[in-house]
């Protein structure tokens, strides 16, 4: 029976390597993963660096690069990369590790480092392309992301993650092209691609047409999650289709779908940004949102409470309810909340607005 890696000296491990390297390597990798998952990167790296070179395998490197990516630890990641390059074996040409490096550098915000690794690879697979495309998308670099996605098509077929990643940053016309490709490849059935398409249409064209294009995608999706529903509400809200956004929210609740902070904020935005809702509809929906916020505890979050204050004051003109909610926010008021309540009372009750201004900026309440 093999003892725990922590209980065996690496001098002993080295003697066992030639006889049974796989079990010992597995022990080391599992130990590294446990340390990394518990947040103890220092001990994980200490264990790795003290191991004999025979046990510093691709799997061990991969486990540590993944940990650096998840914890956004660029310093340890760069140090490990340098160590790998100085290794007698040429790990720099290994596809598995190169993909881990690209992911690590993109997640740590060093997209140029990731691109250098990518450009120097002698072999690439769909993971290599997707990881870098995702990095460009998260960095907001639409041009490079779409250019790389286009180049990818000459080498391999994109997967659902590559398509959804490029959709998160591309504009309307490019997004339509990607949508067409997704339909051709059958990737439109993916929940990731569907969610990304809904968000793209809602984000790129702030008009009624875009809202209904997003709705077409939504209706065609067989499987939906909370992100799908939130994205659809946001798309209608961005298209100034408040009634439809509230309708999606009502259907969401009747279907037993849960909600989160984003749901509440998107519906609140629909209530005070749209002109197609009558006061009675706004009032009922606002009351429902307020009750849900209290029951779920989201009302204690500044953004949610401030959004409700804005609906009560700017749309409904219910300043009493507005002020009551604001006083209950004593634990989570920020400058945005104070500005919102002062602005609300500036027209309705200027004297109260001055009182609130003094309370915040003179008395420092």
Residue 284 near residue 311, CB atoms below 8 Å: no
Q: How far is CA 300 from CA 84, 291, 360, 362, in A?
A: 48, 12, 20, 25
Which tokens is 284 given? 């009922």
DSSP labels, 162-201: HHHHHHTT--HHHHHHHHHHHHHHTGGGSHHHHHHHHHHH
How far apart are alpha carbons 211 and 193 in whole angstroms? Answer: 17
**For the chain, what is the mean pLDDT?**
85
The predicted-structure confidence for 11-68, as pLDDT tens digits, reads as follows 333 333 333 346 888 888 999 999 988 889 999 999 999 998 888 888 999 999 999 9
**Which whole number is the average pLDDT over 239-257?**
93
The predicted-structure confidence for 139-193, as pLDDT tens digits, reads as follows 989 999 999 999 999 999 999 999 999 999 888 999 999 999 999 999 999 999 9
**Which whole number is the average pLDDT over 220-245?**
94
Q: Does residue 134 register a pLDDT over 90?
A: yes
Q: Could you give the angle at which helices 41-49 and 74-85 cross, rounded to 10 degrees?
A: 10
Give the number of C-alpha atoms closer than 13 A to the C-alpha of residue 309, restricted to the C-beta side.
26
Residue 271 near residue 283, CB atoms below 8 Å: no
- DSSP 8-state secondary structure symbol assigned to residue 54: G
pLDDT of residue 349: 64
The predicted-structure confidence for 80-133, as pLDDT tens digits, reads as follows 999 998 875 545 568 999 999 999 999 999 999 999 999 999 999 999 999 999
The owner of tokens 């670099």 is 141
Lowest mean pLDDT among 4-13, 37-46, 195-204: 4-13
Measured between alpha carbons, how far apart are the two ends of the chain, in Å?
A: 66
Question: Hey, is 205 helix, strand or coil?
Answer: coil
Positive or negative CA dihedral for 128, 222, 230, 240? Answer: positive
How far apart are alpha carbons 141 and 242 in whole angstroms? Answer: 31
Q: How far is CA 361 from CA 170, 310, 347, 365, in A?
A: 43, 21, 20, 8
Q: Does 1.25.40 match the CATH number of domain 1-123? A: yes
SS3 content of the chain, % helix, strand, coil (to 5): 75, 0, 25
**Higher-pLDDT residue of 208, 11:** 208
CA 207 centroid distance within chain: 25
Q: Where are the domains of the chain?
A: 1-123, 129-241, 253-365
pLDDT of residue 114: 97
pLDDT of residue 319: 72
């Amino acid at each position: 029976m093999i003892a725990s890696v922590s209980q065996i000296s690496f001098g002993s491990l080295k003697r066992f390597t030639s006889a049974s390297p796989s079990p010992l390597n597995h022990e080391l990798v599992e130990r590294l993963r446990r340390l990394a998952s518990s947040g103890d990167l220092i001990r994980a790296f200490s264990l790795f660096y003290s191991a004999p070179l025979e046990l510093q395998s691709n799997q061990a490197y991969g486990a540590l690069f993944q940990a650096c990516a998840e914890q956004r630890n660029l310093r340890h990641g760069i140090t490990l990369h340098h160590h790998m390059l100085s290794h007698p074996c040429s790990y720099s040409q290994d596809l598995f590790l190169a993909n881990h490096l690209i992911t690590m550098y993109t997640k740590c915000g060093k997209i140029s480092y990731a691109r250098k690794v990518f450009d120097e690879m002698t072999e690439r697979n769909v993971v290599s392309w997707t990881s870098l495309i995702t990095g460009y998308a998260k960095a907001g670099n639409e041009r490079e992301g779409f250019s790389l996605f286009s180049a990818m098509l000459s080498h391999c077929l994109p997967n659902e993650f590559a398509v959804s990643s490029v959709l998160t940053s591309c504009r309307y016309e490019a997004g339509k092209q990607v949508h067409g490709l997704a339909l051709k490849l059958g990737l439109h059935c993916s929940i990731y691609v569907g969610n990304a398409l809904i968000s793209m249409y809602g984000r790129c064209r702030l008009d009624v047409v875009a809202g209904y294009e997003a709705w077409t995608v939504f209706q065609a999706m067989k499987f939906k999650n909370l992100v799908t529903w939130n994205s659809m509400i946001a798309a209608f809200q961005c298209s100034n289709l408040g009634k439809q956004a509230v309708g999606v929210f009502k259907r969401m609740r009747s279907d037993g779908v849960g909600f989160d902070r984003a749901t509440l904020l998107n519906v609140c935005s629909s209530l005070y940004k749209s002109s197609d809702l009558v006061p009675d509809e706004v009032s009922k929906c606002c009351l429902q949102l307020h009750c849900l916020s209290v029951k779920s505890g989201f009302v204690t979050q500044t953004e949610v409470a401030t959004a409700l204050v804005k609906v009560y004051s700017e749309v409904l003109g219910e300043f009493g309810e507005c002020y009551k909610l604001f006083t209950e926010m004593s634990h989570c008021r920020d400058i945005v909340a104070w500005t919102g309540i002062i602005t609300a009372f500036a027209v309705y009750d200027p004297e109260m607005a001055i009182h609130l201004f003094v309370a915040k900026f003179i008395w420092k309440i």
